[in-house]
Amino acid sequence: MTKKTPQQRIAELDEKKARVEEKLKSERASITQAKRREQAKILNQRRKDETRKKILIGAAVQQLVEQGRWEDVQVKRMMSSFLDKDQDRVLFDLPGKKTERI
């Protein structure tokens, strides 16, 4: 068994250090990617929840109109001030935004 020189031991330690640094770099990248995936899940769920809220609010208003507790005119007035796109305004029989006279 031959004894290693200090230069050989230094070279081995440098190689070991390089392997450890590469492994650390890979782990950091893996953790960053996993964190981004989890953040995307949170954001996606928030969007889904927001959409669900909008649907439920719309259903509630529609039910109030159907039950006669809200007048159709009230809803049209509210929607007229809220809607900007002509294609959306058509759904409520509202004139285009540029020609509005309500």
Length of the chain: 102
pLDDT confidence tier of residue 13, bands split at 50, 70 and 90? very high
Q: How far is CA 97 from the centre of its chain?
A: 30
Share of the chain above pLDDT 90, in %: 88
Give me the mean pLDDT over the 57-84 stretch. 94
61's tokens: 């208003």
The CA dihedral of 64, 66, 69, 71, to the nearest 10 degrees, is 100
